[in-house]
Amino acid sequence: MLTLLKLLKDGKFHSGQDLGVALGISRSAVWKQLQLLQAELNLPIHKVRGRGYQLAAPLSLLDVTQIQGGYWPVQVLDSVDSTNAEALRRVDDGCQAPFLLLAERQTAGRGRRGRKWVSPYGENLYYSLVLRIEGGMRQLEGLSLVVGLAVMRALREMGIPQAGLKWPNDVLVERRKLAGILLELVGDPADVCHVVVGVGINVNMQATEEVDQQWTSMRLESGHMVDRNALVTLLNARLHEYFDRHRRDGFAALQGEWEQSHLWQNRPVTLVAGANQIQGVVLGIDAQGALRLQVDGQERVYSGGELSLRLRDDS
């Protein structure tokens, strides 16, 4: 079935006859495989009499041989529940970090605060990098914000100059979400632990009814299809560079750069913490990556994975 998908990924028409010859199977077997492709991967395929079959949209498939840079071993999975969940299972099984898992699709992609991450086949990036952290708490301070910076830099270099950050680690264009980050940790954070750096980027997705918030994709913003292997290559390089700076100089050295890219700096916001809502104005972040808000004329500091920020003039 995947060989068939690779033949169709260019988004052009292919006759049933040509596909059958290329795969060494009959035209009716081609038809059956096409049905399976549509059903299992949820990929719409057009059939036009006299022309053949065509994917509704071309795909840029992941290919380890096209991902440059040898910072960490890379594996591409075709389908998985969640690359983060699979990475955690592999840590548990004793796999040696660092390693990177990518998938063409996730059937149970997870987002922050228990939300799901919509992960259709072959369109976006589902990226989980596992790091072994030995430096104790200092190496973890602000780490998720550092990942946000690296992702944003990669996206800007890939043709989305308007990408910016929203605390703690969303990458947005205006109010539309382009990328999300989910860090999951196992082990003893004060001693030796493993961190799974999960990054989801909306790359070539053009339509979905499943996402329950304002979203965008690189393709929608730039108007052209993005090579996902080139994106992974650049993301690896930026993450490697920012992790180095973080390890060497600590998060405080990146605090100013982060604030400069914060889209909601000095804006009135509501901070949602479970059932509580706190109204304030964003002052910035502190040297550990916590949010600094002006609340009732006083500066207060907030941190924690369950917090989320909304603009106060949101309707």
Task: Please report, as ranges, the residues that interact with ligand BTN according to CB under 6 A.
Answer: 82-84, 106, 109-112, 115, 117, 126-128, 170, 180-182, 198-200
Which residues, listed in sequence order, are joined to residue 182 by a DSSP beta bridge?
A: 198
Alpha helical stretches, state H, 42-142: 83-92, 137-140
The residue (of 14 and 105) whose beta carbon lies closer to ligand BTN is: 105
Could you tell me whether strands 268-273 and 307-311 are parallel, antiparallel, or unpaired per DSSP bridges? Answer: antiparallel
The residue (of 84 and 204) whose beta carbon lies closer to ligand BTN is: 84
Instruction: Tally helices (H) and strands (E) across the chain.
Output: 9, 14
Contact predicate 53/13, CB 8 Å = yes
Residue 197's nearest CA partner among 276, 242, 144 is 144
Contact predicate 181/144, CB 8 Å = yes
Buried b / exposed e along 216-238 (16+ C-beta atoms within 10 A)? bbbbbbeeebbebbebbbbbbbb
User: CA–CA separation, 298 vs 315, rounded Å?
Assistant: 26
Q: Of the residues 105, 110, 112, 166, which is catalytic?
A: 112
- Closest-approach residue to ligand BTN (CB): 180
Give min distance, CB of 250 to ligand BTN, in A: 25
User: CA–CA separation, 264 vs 281, rounded Å?
Assistant: 9
Q: Of the residues 166, 177, 219, 238, which is catalytic?
A: 177
Give min distance, CB of 109 to ligand BTN, in A: 4
Give min distance, CB of 296 to ligand BTN, in A: 30
Contact predicate 133/194, CB 8 Å = yes
The residue (of 175 and 300) whose beta carbon lies closer to ligand BTN is: 175
Q: What is the largest CA-CA distance in the chain?
A: 75
User: CA–CA separation, 179 vs 198, rounded Å?
Assistant: 11
The residue (of 53 and 264) whose beta carbon lies closer to ligand BTN is: 264
Give min distance, CB of 141 to ligand BTN, in A: 20
Could you tell me whether strands 268-273 and 276-285 are parallel, antiparallel, or unpaired per DSSP bridges? Answer: antiparallel
> Quick check: is 310 catalytic?
yes
User: CA–CA separation, 250 vs 307, rounded Å?
Assistant: 23
> Quick check: is 116 catalytic?
no
The residue (of 199 and 293) whose beta carbon lies closer to ligand BTN is: 199
For residue 129, the 8-state DSSP code is: E
> Quick check: is 6 catalytic?
no
The residue (of 122 and 200) whose beta carbon lies closer to ligand BTN is: 200
Give min distance, CB of 81 to ligand BTN, in A: 8
Give min distance, CB of 169 to ligand BTN, in A: 7
Positions marked catalytic = 112, 177, 310
